[in-house]
């Protein structure tokens, strides 16, 4: 049974936030902001890094908050290519508990929604890292290697076969905690680069 994204936003935020989100349709200026925020995040994280979808999506949400006119919501769930599940599980999970842990044991995927658009800053990086193979081969064939981010209207979904199934919208506290984790990871990477 498909989950309604508006209900998920209401649960993690409130009905007013969900109502505002549902009425926000991106104009050309908003699409430029979506791209600018993505480029800022991609500039912070090194290339070919897998398994950082939650950290990268949280950073994307914060970057959009600083640049845009509306909040972006960080969404957790499953990622499919057609009917083949790449990340995630059929069973429900308790996102409130899961994303309050420092090292969640979870096999799903995290992305962002901004108004009527879905945006993902990590899927191409994960694919470029080579695992899982099915994702890597699909992305290379449909998009090529070394791409930065993807975004499209949710009404049309991805014309090249990626399918996102939302199961939970992270709360602001969870996004902020992930952002702190992202900054710590970036600091550690930069310190290692500086010591070489």
The pLDDT tens digits for 98-142 are 888 766 678 899 999 999 999 999 999 999 888 899 999 999 998
User: Are 62 and 179 contacting, i.e. CB atoms less than 8 angstroms apart?
Assistant: yes
Question: Each residue of 78-90: b (16+ CB within 10 Å) or e?
Answer: bbbbeeebbbbee
The pLDDT tens digits for 53-85 are 999 999 999 999 999 889 999 999 999 998 899
Q: How many domains does the chain have?
A: 1
Res. 49 pLDDT band, cuts 50 70 90: confident
pLDDT of residue 44: 86
The residue range of the domain holding 29 is 5-194
Using CA atoms, how far apart are residues 190 and 172, in angstroms rounded to an integer?
Answer: 27
pTM: 0.92
């Amino acid at each position: 049974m498909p989950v309604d994204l508006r209900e998920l936003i209401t649960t993690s935020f409130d009905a007013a936030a969900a109502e505002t989100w549902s009425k926000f349709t991106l104009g050309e200026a908003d699409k430029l902001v979506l791209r600018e925020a993505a480029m800022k995040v991609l500039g912070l994280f090194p290339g070919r890094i897998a398994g950082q979808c939650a950290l990268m999506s949280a950073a994307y949400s914060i970057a959009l908050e600083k640049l845009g006119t509306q909040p972006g919501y960080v969404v957790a769930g499953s990622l499919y290519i057609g009917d083949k599940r790449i990340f995630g599980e059929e069973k429900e999970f308790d996102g409130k508990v899961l994303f309050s842990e420092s090292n969640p044991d979870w096999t799903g995927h995290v992305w962002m929604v901004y108004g009527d658009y879905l945006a993902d800053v990590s899927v191409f990086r994960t694919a470029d890292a080579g695992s899982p193979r099915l994702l890597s081969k699909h992305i290379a064939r449909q998009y090529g290697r070394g791409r930065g981010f993807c975004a499209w209207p949710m009404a049309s979904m991805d014309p090249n076969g990626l399918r996102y199934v939302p199961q939970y919208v992270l709360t602001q506290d969870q996004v902020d905690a992930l952002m702190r984790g992202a900054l710590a990871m970036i600091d550690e990477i930069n310190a290692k680069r500086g010591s070489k």
